[in-house]
Amino acid sequence: MVPVQYNARSLLVRKVTTLATAGGIALVVFVFAGALMLAEGVNRAFSSSGRADTVVIVRKGSDAELSSAIGAEYLALFRGPAQVSQAGGVIGEIVVVVIADHNDGSGSSNVLVRGTPPEGITFRPEIKIIHGHAPKPGTNEVIVGSAIAGRFKGLSEGQGIDLRRNRPLNVVGVFTAVGSSYESEVWGDLDYIRNALGRQAIVSSARVRLNNPSDYDAYRQTIEGDPRFSMKVTRESDYFAKQSENMSTFLTWIGLIIAIMFSLAAMLGAAITMNGAVAHRTREIGTLRALGFSRRAILTSFLIEAIALAVVGGLVGSALVLLLSFVSFPIINFQTFSEIVFSFRATPAVFIRALVFSGFMGLLGGLIPAIRASRVSPIEAMRA
């Protein structure tokens, strides 16, 4: 085995090419890890919105609350089965999207407005009002999620937007929801919002708190098997996981495609660097062969050098990508077509995958030069 110090000295001697190659790999890892962090942010926003002991009921054939409509008279029937918690019970809500202008003048986007009963906030313990107060029942008061507060015109405390013409909503508070997608919504009184929309007798969805998560199957069979209903029952955590699935997959693949395009250039740079090393170290390689080091040892040595170079670049890119943790990113929800603001989320899995990816680039980029080095003839090298 060729001493590792030999490889370290070689990289330090070729400072310019080493830094250039490591910088290119760092850029690739930055893009790749950034896409993974954004996908993790999407997953966290939706997964933290759902509970295992709560189910979402929508009209059969609907994939989301926005496209669903349920008669308000069914809510009492949803409370009937023994699996329903008497403490949590059942709430019905209505959702609609409104168009709002961005404060920075960059255009407009859809914002999801949720009409919820007075107990809708206490139904979700993660909801915390950090400014102002909760909407008063029967009024046009609303609270806005912290992710979009101030991002749109009218969505700051003391301001307002129009739900419909002559149907204003006045912002009286700002709330947080442990980073979930609720923080990109506007919440108001159920009766006021559905009356303003002319939908007094319906809700978009119902949420049911069960006694125990294990009661889900029994409750689902009861509701979906009842001939009076035509409903779809989904565990709330599964409902939000499904909501994020397409978006997360889309972001991951976009990031992966971009990273692969950049990685081709990075691997080419690594190959050029290692080829240059082989060309300038022909006599050294010949000496190593004359000293008894096998072709396999030379091959392994050059591969280690290429992988080490790539991992150094990967570490730099991983360190830089941490800065994205302070950045928020707006995305259109494919299910509701409303804007949701996410944060890049760093996890150990992201960095492990990024470093493995950088090592793989080094392996591919250094493989051909390493094979070339292992085939150098000691006699021809001494004559060079």
pTM (two decimals): 0.73
pLDDT in tens, 169-219: 999 999 999 888 899 999 999 999 999 988 888 999 999 999 999 999 999
From 93-102, 210-219, 327-336, 374-383, the region with the lowest mean pLDDT? 374-383
Return the higher-pLDDT residue of 170 and 294.
Answer: 170
DSSP 212: -
What DSSP line would sit under 25-49, residue for residue? HHHHHHHHHHHHHHHHHHHHHHHTT
Please report which residue ranges of the chain form alpha helices under DSSP H: 4-13, 15-47, 74-78, 190-197, 216-224, 236-280, 282-290, 295-321, 348-374, 378-383
52, two tokens = 């295992």
384 has a pLDDT exceeding 60? no
pLDDT band at 231, cuts 50/70/90? very high
Dist. CA 112–CA 99, nearest whole Å: 9
List, for residues 7-27, the tens digit of each pLDDT value: 666 666 677 777 877 888 888
